[in-house]
A and B are shown apart, each in its own frame.
Chain A
């Protein structure tokens, strides 16, 4: 039972834009803690996609972008490609739990 809630699945056609929400509370995202995003392709380790709310590591396409507002954060994928089909997780810190926490995860399907 994660404290960061994501939609179980989102889908879109190639070329479309999809967004994944990450809803938290006043003890995590709303408290100002950074949000990070990971992409996990089937059978592989997670890969860092966005750190510090809206920063892309070197090598991550600019089709991926992150934002944060209030107690929520979002990951946007523009120009959706077949290779983007994966699970996506948000992460932050929760002061009530004194723990780093991950979101429930979202499966992105490219139609």
Chain B
């Protein structure tokens, strides 16, 4: 049974870089699938941030592309999100997920709230 768990700071200052890690258990990232990040501002809907394929190919939401980096570490079976130059608009619950080629997310982490505030 694959499980995903997000970790990282819950509070980030404006203009700084948000960094989150997703630890995957029960499945080896290097074996396949896409691994991605999706966020949800408080009381609002879902927004796709980006995916990384197990080979390392990345796909980003064009609206965030200039600020986003997703990377994978197969040695620790984790993948990470970095979002630079954050503002209050980046305050959200951030979810990591395992995705299939047509985009559906079959397995999600529990989510972690990141607040951008000074």
Contact = CB atoms under 8 A, between A and B. Distances in A.
Contacts of B95: 45-46
B102 interface: yes
The main secondary structure of chain B at its interface with chain A is: loop
Smallest CB-CB A-B distances: 9 pairs: A36-B104, A100-B48, A102-B46, A45-B108, A51-B104, A100-B103, A34-B102, A105-B45, A99-B61
Interface in B99-116: 100, 102-106, 108-111
A14 B117 CA distance: 43
Given A36-B104, A99-B62, A105-B45, 12 more contacts: A34-B102, A36-B102, A46-B46, A48-B105, A51-B106, A52-B102, A91-B46, A97-B62, A97-B63, A98-B62, A99-B48, A99-B61
Contacts, number: 59
A45 to B, nearest CB: 4
B61 A45 contact: no
Nearest to A103: B45
A46 B48 contact: no
A89 B45 contact: yes
Contact of A57 (B48, B62, B106): B106
Interface in A27-72: 33-34, 36, 38, 44-48, 51-52, 57
B6 to A, nearest CB: 10
